[in-house]
Structure 1
Amino acid sequence: MSLLRSARFPAIMLLAAAAAGLIVANSPIGHSVQDLQHAYVGIPGVFELSVGHWIADGLLALFFFVVAVELQFELTNGQLNSARKALQPAIAAAGGVIVPIAVYLGFAWGTASADGWPIPTATDIAFALGVLAVFGRGLPSGVRIFLLALAILDDIVGIIFIAVLFTDGVNIGLLAAAAVAVVLFGYLSRKLDSRARGAILAILVVLALTTWVLVYLSGVHATIAGVALGLAMAQQPALHARHAMEPWVNVIVLPLFAFSSALVVIPAVSFDELTPAFFGILVALPVGKIVGIALFGWISQRIAHDPAMPRLPLADLLAAGALGGIGFTVSLLLSELAFEGNDLLTDEAVLGVLSGSLISVVIAGVLVSMRARRYRGRASAVSATGEATAS
């Protein structure tokens, strides 16, 4: 079980599943697999979702819950436990949204492609952390926590864009009911040490499912329910739940999600037919994210620095920015929504997301590996010095 909880093995599974999805989608059986992905499952006439939506909206909420629990711990007892510390990744995340938008509009302003400006703003948490786990052995925990916080904030921004820009109408009543369910969930989770532990656990499960259904029906992306529940739950029970769920999330949820989201047919578009939608995303994901996150992260450490928290070197911020350029999942969803009804622009946006994210993976792999090697070398030197002193 320890292997399933490790960072590297699940990350390798995640990346392998994504590659398998792309290969299958562009193979002779791709059409059949996509038909299965679009098949509806549920209670007929009551609540039905396609297989793809059950994975992306349902199972992925479990991943967001686990991530939110970790973030909650860092915000209360960890390396982000003050407003000044938490402000740093928030400012960096803002740069990782603003600069890619500016880069994209630099290509697409005044054209039909301009509506795609939200596409390069998202960071794929699962893929970014996966690349970090594969190449980042030896990096200090501060880099991972910084990336985790800004990636969650990036995804929340992407979800807000989906809810505000690409939703016909958010049902405020259902969203308010979901908020009430979250409050009750958080309150009851603090009563788990009572004699009615079994009954409370059952009620918590019902409240969690109710929250997810209400958020989904409200028109807001359902994975936000996982974030809300993870942040609301009492810390000790939440950490126990995270410990129990982590192997299943690593080995089942994330690979399934990666495979499903990567079932994308690479569009066949000649170079002279490419529009600003493609070039804007291609540049905005790797370049816009690196510049935005690194620049704003550097600024944040000077205007909101906590003396108790070591500053991340610019090289670490550049590596985090490259990881932030892995848009993939949410960016693909935003591509479909931004250019709905325009197949040409949708195809080019998809191609831009795949290409830009791949470039970001390569750059991030190189930068993270270089930084990790440097930290490992520094640790070895310190260890050798300590042994020499002791002798």
Structure 2
Amino acid sequence: METSGKVIKCKAAVAWEAGKPLSIQEVEVAPPRAHEVRIKVLATGICRSDDHVLSGSIDNVRFPIILGHEAAGIVESIGEGVTDLKPGDKVIPLIAPQCGDCSSCQHPRNNLCLKADLGKNRGVMADGTTRFTYQGQQIHHFLNTSTFAEYTVVEEIAVVKIDEMAPVHKICLIGCGFSTGYGAAINTAKVEPGSTCVVFGLGGIGLAAIIGCKVGGATRIIGIDINKDKFTKAKELGATECISPQDYTKAMHEVLIAMTGGVGVDYAFECVGHVDVMMAALLSCRMGCGTCVVVGIASAEARISLSPKLFVSGRTLTGSYFGGWKSKDCIPKLVSDYMAKKFNLDGLVTHTLPFDKINEGFELLRAGKSIRTVLIF
């Protein structure tokens, strides 16, 4: 492309500090260096994780920063040494990179590449520098991706080519929310036919978990949320029933045990990010074989106090990152499965807005009025 090798000036939503709205600015995006790829972002979703940064609940984030991590676009240019991508390829940036060489990538059950930025919040590329500047000031990266910009630069281990016919305003969700929830059910829990599941939190990730439970063959899927407006969507996607904690005086785990004849559920998914909900999910699992999967991101200072009896009785508590998918290996297949109608994620997109209305999209999220807002450039 004619911009190859040149600095690109483009619009980006910059977070200057926690607690403040994003600011649309014209930033400079440097060309990709060796083993890097510059992407023209076409569509990007607004995820709760982005809001966690803006609210200050994720610590050690380096401001100013360009957030965004759930996107699809096309390759604008490539750096030296990049061989598996070319300009014009349709791609998804990856919050879970896959270098293929580290011990985690080579482990058959591990998808957390040692080069991932999870929890580190370095805010820079592998060489310790950024590719974003604003009037000479350095702007930091987020989760290897930074998709709240018309152009972004990522490392080649953090981007994968997908079906060129895939609709970007839908499959961008595979970059985070859908894959995380769906994979928590399919890969982490390995939901079995005939099982009973409960999903705490019916946002984008929780609803994706419901889709995964349905695909896994669960016969009973209970959705839980304090926002009853989400119940209709949850049932459309596979929930067999939905309940609100506000309708009960008993603790939710007691309600669920009663609903299951005193047994408890086979699989519980915590998609809220609150320690009290995590405990409720664990306590709702049946003794002997129940599994609780924590997917939600709690605040940095959150802690859980547990009795060892919960585990001696045979329950399992585990977590799931990016749904357990090895990204470069699995994301193209997930996109192909969507194109083949093996699952339907269209219902997760409730709002589509122009990029300039990004702050409006965050307000919809905070007000509980959206599942996923997708921004179009």
Same structural fold, with TM-score higher than 0.5 when normalized by the shorter chain: no
Structure with the largest fraction of helix: 1
Task: Please say which structure displays the higher CA radius of gyration.
Answer: 1
Q: TM-score, normalised by structure 2?
A: 0.25
